[in-house]
Structure 1
Amino acid sequence: MPRFNLTQLRYQLSRYQQRRRSRRQLLTLNDHLLKDIGLTREQACQEGKQTFWKPKHQDKRALTTQRRD
């Protein structure tokens, strides 16, 4: 039978709660605010409707593309 560390469990639960909260808030943003953070409405809906236990989806193109100012 696996042993659970209470500290690790508490940490994981707080990560789930934060992920759930931020995804719900993402769904409430208007188009102007979404544009400010560089997301389309479609991307926000995709991320916002994911279940809280799944980690954030990372686009491989975003990881390879660097911003030039």
Structure 2
Amino acid sequence: MTLHVFPRTGPPQARLRTLLAWIARTREERRQRAELLSLSDHELRDIGITRYDALTEARKGLWR
């Protein structure tokens, strides 16, 4: 599990950059999970995972 730590002190610009970076990472993870769900069973087998694995990954929350 990845722990995202946001600084509580420091310049507001640094805190804003940290928040924006977290948002960008979260959006990218969401996009990748959606793409994973769109793959066919054959394509999933090609990359070595099952449909169950893809569903499990796609259902993970934002904090994971």
Could you say which TM-score interval applies, normalised by the shorter chain?
0.7 to 0.9
Displacement over 6 Å in runs of 4+? none
Which of 27, 31, 43 aligns to 2:37? It is 27
**Partner SS state of residue 57, structure 2:** helix
Q: Which runs of 5+ in 1 are unaligned?
A: 55-69
The answer as to 2:27 corresponding to 1:17 is yes
If the length of structure 2 is used for normalisation, what is the TM-score? Answer: 0.72
Q: Which runs of 5+ in 2 are unaligned?
A: 1-7
If the length of structure 1 is used for normalisation, what is the TM-score? Answer: 0.68
Q: Give the root-mean-square deviation of aligned CA atoms.
A: 1.3
**Partner SS state of residue 45, structure 2:** helix
Measured in 2, the distance between the counterparts of 1:53 and 1:22 equals: 15
Percent identical pairs in the alignment equals 38
